[in-house]
Homo-oligomer: A and B are copies of this chain.
Amino acid sequence: MTLRCLFPILDWAPGYTRAALGADLVAAVIVTIMLIPQSHAYAMLAGLPPHVGLYASMLPLIAYAVFGSSRTLAVGPVAVVSLMTAAAVGDVAAQGTAGYMTAAITLAALSGLVLLAMAALRLGFLANALSHPVISGFISASGLLIAAGQLKHLLGVTAEGDTLVRLAIGLWYGLPATNPWTLAIGAAATTFLFWTRSRLKPLLMRLGLRARAADVVTRAAPVFAVVASTLAVVGLDLGAKGVKIVGAVPAGLPDLVLPSFDPDLAVRLFPAAVLIALVGFVESVSVAQTLAAKLRQRIVPDQELVGLGMANVASAVSGGYPVTGGFARSVVNFDAGAETPLAGAFTAIGIAVATVAFTPLFFHLPQATLAATIVVAVLSLVDLKALARTWRYSRTDFLAMATTIAGVLLAGVEAGIVAGVALSLLQVLWRASRPHVAIVGQVPGTGHFRNVLRHDVIQSPRVLSVRVDESLWFANARWLEDLILDLVAARPEAEHVVLMCPAVNAIDASALESLETIAGRLRGAGIGFHLSEVKGPVMDRLERSDFFESRFQGQVFLSHLDAMWTLDPETFPPPAGRADPLRRVGDTGRP
């Protein structure tokens, strides 16, 4: 049982069938074909040589197959994390230096360790810390920013920048130096890829291909673009005409080494590693849960932390950079029929074969083609209609989404996600610090007490009945103090305050102090302070503390009606046969 928890592979490996093997192999072939140009492209996006993208697409997939809880998630280099890697590593080293590579590897190791630490602390629930509008805004804006950043490769100009404004300025000044051959390849590749996305499959099917075959051909479209543009470069000798090409890619598998550990570098990269771990985890879990729901499978967030953590550590020891579960690739894997994580392992083998045998073929591949691959992939993530939908439903959610988008586009991807996380946390804190409360009165003829603002109810002139609808703890303790004292100040004729606690599930040390403070101050003003409908576990805990011996000297009533019968029998005459007018839940016989 425990072993199964740690190694989800034990869940499916014993019952692995020949049919599953076939399905996994087909999926692996399709994903491999898609992944070769993609891993080149994302490595370029991260400012790294193309073979690093291939390295990050081997061992991490095998690690995830062993430790991950999703059957169909495809792990590897992804666009957003590549962009975040470029931002973080660019802060500590210049692109193209050995230091840049070391920093990228360190970042992968750190992200992996952060994820594993989160797993050890059972922090999988942090996947819920980002609201949907923030995630959606972040993904869309990152897609736009990434696409804008690729324009320079499509034009063959130099333009640096990590925000939309700087990119636009860079492009503006670079525009006159546009290389016509690069532009031609870039425009052709982009148009071709967009066209295949929407039109190729229906066309092939009309030509008589079966759906499955049409699908495989469509998925392989980037490979056609790669082959065609490479042939164009070779045939027209475009390398000599200023078209930037991939160049020499080291052949062979990566060496397995323990990444060198430089404490200073680790400290500087640590905040970025935390962000990458968080963003990667949230992106990955969202994808995995969406796919798992379709197959009625379950994702265990704490186990996903282990799987992604091990994948990043594997990336670090094999010379890669941070990886996570990618949206597009996972959907392809799922659509292609992958049944187990073995599909991922087979993909890794496919990439390994390509790395050993095919790297010389990439020498003349123009960077513009890779840029086109990226642009087409990321623009499919952009969903600006969500802005309008969110605006209609909730202004708060819209604000969070718009701020995240503006942050990413105008201040960079890290600033954007920090703003989004901060907004989500503020929302959580804000809600936590303002519990819903209501002054309640009796629904005539019933034992129900409801909000006086929404129901036609009977109120006592002498007893103030307040219902608080959240647990009492440090986040709202002070606020409750203020509230009760304000309410009493506004109703000078009140002789008792009864706090109705049907939704109070816990009272922590800070809140206990606040309740004592409230009781003490009300007693100073000659007002009684009581509780009603306190839940069992809360009552147990109060009994264990010295709450009833100390400053709280009121009563605790089983039902709020009991409280009213006792404290205001004029307005709420108790029934004749009422047995125990002063019943106190958990009364232990103390005076």
Contact = CB atoms under 8 A, between A and B. Distances in A.
A293 B478 CA distance: 12
Contacts of A471: 431, 436
Interface stretch (A108-116, A122-130, A224-232): A122-130
A131 B474 contact: yes
Contacts of A510: 131-132
Contact of A128 (B129, B446, B469, B476): B476
B469 A508 contact: no
B502 A429 contact: no
B126 A536 contact: no
A128 B517 CA distance: 16
A432 B128 CA distance: 9
Interface stretch (A73-81, A159-167, A389-397): A389-397
B430 A125 contact: yes
A559 B131 contact: no
A151 to B, nearest CB: 27
A289 interface: yes
A503 B130 CA distance: 23
Copies of this protein in the assembly total 2
A270 to B, nearest CB: 11
B125 A429 contact: yes
Contacts of A129: 429, 433, 475
A545 interface: yes
A430 B125 CA distance: 7
Q: Chain B CB within 10 Å — which of A396, A535, A559 has the most?
A: A535
A394 B447 CA distance: 35
A447 to B, nearest CB: 6
Given A133-B509, A479-B128, A510-B131, A469 B503 contact: yes
Nearest to A296: B521
Interface residues of A, number: 60
Contacts of A428: 428-429, 432, 475
A169 B19 CA distance: 66
A469 B125 contact: no
A470 interface: yes
Contacts of A454: 535-537
Interface majority SS on A: helix, strand, loop or mixed? Answer: helix
A126 to B, nearest CB: 7
Contact of A508 (B298, B397, B475): B397
A537 B513 CA distance: 32
Contacts of A479: 125, 128
Contacts of A545: 393
A473 interface: yes
A528 B454 CA distance: 29
A434 interface: yes
A429 B126 contact: yes
A509 B451 contact: no
A424 to B, nearest CB: 8
Interface string A427-461: 01111111010000000001110010010000000
A162 to B, nearest CB: 14
Contacts of A393: 509, 512, 545
Contact of A478 (B289, B503, B517): B289
A426 interface: yes
A505 interface: yes
Interface string A474-518: 111111001000000000000000000011010011101100010
Contact of A474 (B126, B128, B521, B559): B128
Nearest to A432: B428
A356 interface: no
A255 B400 CA distance: 43
Nearest to A540: B454
Contacts of A130: 474
A129 B433 CA distance: 8
Contacts of A474: 128, 130-132, 424
A232 to B, nearest CB: 45
Given A298-B482, A393-B509, 16 more contacts: A125-B430, A125-B433, A127-B478, A128-B432, A128-B477, A129-B433, A393-B512, A425-B429, A428-B428, A431-B432, A432-B432, A436-B505, A446-B447, A454-B535, A454-B537, A503-B503
Q: Which 10 A-B pairs have the closest CB atoms?
A: A503-B503, A436-B505, A131-B474, A454-B536, A125-B433, A132-B510, A128-B433, A469-B503, A393-B509, A128-B475
Interface of A: 123, 125-133, 289, 293, 298, 390, 393-394, 396-397, 424-426, 428-434, 436, 446-448, 451, 454, 469-471, 473-479, 482, 502-503, 505, 508-510, 512-513, 517, 521, 535-537, 545, 559
